Amino acid sequence: MGDFFGIVLIRPLGLILMGIFSVVGNYGLALILFTLLVKLILLPFMYKQKKSMKKMNLVQAESAALQKRYAQNREKMNEEISKLYEREGVNPMGSCLLTFLTLPIMMALYYAVREPLTYMMGLADSTIEKVAQALGQTFDTASLTAQIQLAKDVNDNWDAVSQFASDGLCRIDFNFLGIDLSAIPQFTELNLLWLVPVLSGVTALLSSLVMQKMQKVQNPNAQNGSAQLNSTMKTMLIMMPLMSVWIAFTLPASMGLYWIVNNVFSLVQEFVLTWYIVKFDKAEDDEETKERKRREAAHQARLAEQEEAKKNGVQTEYLGAKSENVSKKKLKARQAEQKRLKEKETAARAAQIKAEKEAARRAGRQVDTDES
């Protein structure tokens, strides 16, 4: 990883993991507590993401109606949908942005666990190579599992490398509940390590199922997605557990344990956040729904006024969502100006009719004079 990413994000997380390990003295337990701590740090962002998704679901019906109304005019449809999002204060990219925010942290967690010598102990590459040489090994920097395997060998042969303790090297016992977290599960060897990929797949499946269920609980009135979207969700429901199993069979069990714990905490997080939003945010959501309906009604009324004004030949300037932010004073001034223009047009029409009648009357009088 780049030096900036490693120094700014991965190394601090590695220090936290190292600090927890120093306190509890058990690497597996430290990994569990570490994952929980990071989940708690990310909890406010996940809460905001769920609230953003709820807002998106609230305007889904209006968005679908606009898509149907302007199906033949895509440019107009996109314009009206943009106005709808702006009027409702909804950012369709909000959930994606939050995902991109949490993604670097998840990547940093992966590297902090995968490279304990660098990010937990803070050893330089040259020191790591010297440690490997002291153990009679050649350190392969390209290997994904090299540091975990070397850390295990350090623990098993501490007397040979204890002189590097002054550089930060320490012993890590990877044994956790009878499972060697430095070992990689093998398809061909049925043993206790198989629990890691199996639990990884099961927890990934449960996490996905709970997430879909909680979305329905949180948004009971949300419209069903398109057939294509539903098909994609079903595919992901199958693929994610399979990918979890495959990852757990290709990386050390410590990464599988991290993935299992992350899935379990994600499952619990969905329950807690959904319960909180449904129970404690209900009054706020009801007010937002009422306000949203009021804004939509006002928007439709202004559209009707605009159409009526066009029929009467009066030019108006209605900018959809932007007019929602116009002050009452400015809005009254605009309405007064429209009324003044309409009255002026009416007066001009009346004056024209009067002039035509006067001209006709004079023409009739001139004819009578000529005949006499």
Q: Which two tokens stand for residue 349?
A: 């029409």
Q: Which two tokens stand for residue 11?
A: 């190394």
Sign of CA dihedral 13, 14, 18, 24: positive
Q: What is the pLDDT of residue 320?
A: 47
Q: What is the pLDDT of residue 226?
A: 47
Task: Report how far residue 166's alpha carbon sits from residue 127's, in angstroms, rounded to the nearest whole number.
Answer: 11
Q: What is the pLDDT of residue 358?
A: 79
Task: Report how far residue 28's alpha carbon sits from residue 151's, in angstroms, rounded to the nearest whole number.
Answer: 14
Tell me phi and psi for residue 281, to 5 degrees: -100, 5
Q: What is the pLDDT of residue 20?
A: 93
Q: What is the pLDDT of residue 344?
A: 76
Per-residue model confidence as pLDDT tens digits over 104-149: 777 787 888 888 999 999 898 889 999 999 998 888 877 878 888 8
- Decide if pLDDT at 101 tops 60: yes
Mean pLDDT calculated for residue range 346-361: 79
pTM for the model: 0.65
Residue 243 makes CB contacts below 8 A (sequence gap 6+) with 204
Mean pLDDT calculated for residue range 188-214: 86
- Decide if pLDDT at 304 tops 80: no
Arithmetic mean of pLDDT over the chain: 77
